[in-house]
Amino acid sequence: MAGSTFGNIFKIASWGESHGKGIGVVVDGCPAGVPLTEEDIQIYLNRRKPGQSRFATPRAEDDVVEILSGVFEGVTTGTPISLIVYNKTQRSSDYSEIASYYRPGHADYTFDRKYGFRDYRGGGRSSGRETIARVAAGAIAAKILQSLSVEVHAYTKAIGNVEVDMEHFNADEIFQNMLYMPDSDAAKRAEKLIDEKRMQTDSVGGVVECVVSGLVAGMGEPVFEKLDANLAKAIVSIGAVKAFEIGDGTKVSKAFGSENNDSFMADDEGRITKRTNHAGGILGGISDGSDIVLRAYFKPTPSIFKEQRTVNREGKNINVNIKGRHDPIIVPRAVVVVEAMTAITVLDMMLMGMTADIHRIKRFFDDLR
């Protein structure tokens, strides 16, 4: 079954393994007329690159994107945009041992059961390098959204038990610390936690929050293709995400209706907004004009240096010490991935949202004549 294709109108097909020739993505359904350069995409890719901080793996990666098709004289043509990032040559020997057993918390076992065998080099298709394709495609979606006055921004909300104090939220701070946290004080405490866990040869998880602003009301489809349902799929499809929230998320289960309902208000021009935004910008699966607010909860990196119990391919119980270079945290690198998947989903649903009303459709085709 084809599992590496995502989206309906703005559709992406991702490919590549961690230790194969490269990672790439084909963006099929990108509108024509969008100015696009490799630089536009590279900026996003650099945000997920490791080696930028002491919290990421020290591998000297250099993920340079190349546009292979779909752009002519600096502008998208409407035909598929093929993007490639070549993998740098790496010694596969680092990973040869893991072929023989199943790493806890990884997809080794499930791939073996699904396909009968697997590409064991560095995780193969289930490696985090797969997110290069998501981010590259997301950069294009984000650029188009900007031209439609929609902005998508993500940041680290929490690392382990260190949470950002939303009273001290400072957007400018996000790119000032290695952890992409909008609160310098929390960032410092989180750094300390990560250092501590690294010393203990352990790892830690965290939370990424993403805000979509400027989206017109009316996007998302009733029943199954709700905007939040599609965002949930997009976000949970990111490796290591174990929970998804929209608006107040899990908290709503303990709230009362009188607290949780956002009342509407109109300004002097009759422009309607909501007094609060517990709903996270979505009512009945359709955008209501407020900010979309979502959160992704990431598990701690499964690759740790501690001794662990597991089973080898022969079905024997063994103890293992997994070698290699491990991140004690993947959350900071995942921030741009959440942003990318959100952008792709929102753009796709905006394009799908153009056919809801016959009067708008008529106007569209009248303009073409």
Residues in region 29-58 near a copy of itself by CB under 8 A: 29, 31-34
Return the residues of window 64-93 that contact a copy of itself according to CB under 8 A. 66, 68-70, 72, 75-82, 84
Give the footprint of a copy of itself on residues 97-156 (CB under 8 A): 102, 104-107, 109-111, 113-119, 121, 124-126, 130, 144, 147-149
| Options 47-55, 61-69, 167-175, 179-187: segment touching a copy of itself (CB under 8 A) | 61-69
Locate tokens 């119980």: which residue?
317
CA separation, residue 53 to residues 50, 63, 104 (Å): 7, 16, 26
Q: How far is the CB of 229 from a copy of itself (least distance, A)?
A: 4
Of 41 and 84, CB closest to a copy of itself: 84
352 lies in the binding site for a copy of itself (CB under 8 A) = yes
- Piece of 38-46, 55-63, 165-173, 355-363 that binds a copy of itself (CB under 8 A): 355-363
Listed in sequence order, the residues at least 6 apart from 62 whose beta carbon sits closer than 8 Å to its beta carbon are 49, 88
Task: Show contacts with a copy of itself in window 218-257 (CB under 8 A).
Answer: 218-226, 228-237, 239, 242-250, 252-257
User: Residue 219: what residue type?
Assistant: M
Phi-psi sector, 160: left (phi>0), alpha (psi -120 to 50), beta: left
Residues 185 to 204 in contact with a copy of itself, rule: CB under 8 A: 197, 202-204
Shortest Cβ distance from residue 49 to a copy of itself (Å)? 20
Mention every residue, 6+ apart, whose C-beta is less than 8 A from residue 192.
Answer: none
Which of these segments, 43-51, 55-63, 174-182, 351-359, binds a copy of itself (CB under 8 A)? 351-359
Question: Which range in 37-45, 47-55, 182-190, 298-306 contacts a copy of itself by CB under 8 A?
Answer: 298-306
| Residue 83 tokens, joined | 């993007």
Nearer to a copy of itself, 235 or 336 (CB): 235
Q: Which is nearer to a copy of itself, 107 or 174 (CB)?
A: 107
CA distances to 95, 96, 113, 183, 224 from 100, rounded to whole Å, are 10, 8, 14, 44, 42
Q: Which is nearer to a copy of itself, 171 or 272 (CB)?
A: 272
Amino acid letter for position 247 = G
Give Cβ neighbours of residue 27 (< 8 Å, ≥ 6 apart): 10, 11, 12, 70, 80, 81, 82, 83, 137, 140
Residue 260, interface with a copy of itself (CB under 8 A)?
yes
Is 99 or 178 the residue whose CB approaches a copy of itself more closely?
99
Q: Quick one: 12 or 172, whose CB is closer to a copy of itself? A: 12
Stretch that binds a copy of itself, among 15-23, 44-52, 54-62, 177-185 (CB under 8 A): 15-23
Under the binding rule (CB under 8 A), the answer on residue 304 touching a copy of itself is yes
**Is the separation of the CB atoms in 36 and 140 below 8 Å?**
yes
**Of 10 and 180, which has the nearer Cβ to a copy of itself?**
10
Q: Which of 74, 93, 199, 316 binds a copy of itself (CB under 8 A)?
A: 316
3-class secondary-structure state, position 126: helix
> How far, in Å, CA of 233 to CA of 218, rounded?
20
- Find the part of the chain contacting a copy of itself (CB under 8 A) among 3-11, 42-50, 52-60, 171-179: 3-11
Q: Is 217 exposed, middle or buried (0-12, 13-18, 19+ CB in 10 A)?
A: middle
Distance CA 99, CA 82 (A): 32
Total residues at interface with a copy of itself (CB under 8 A):
173
DSSP string covering 44-77: HHHHH-SSSSTTS--------EEE-SSEETTEE-
Total length of the chain: 369
Residue 248 vs 339, nearer CB to a copy of itself: 248
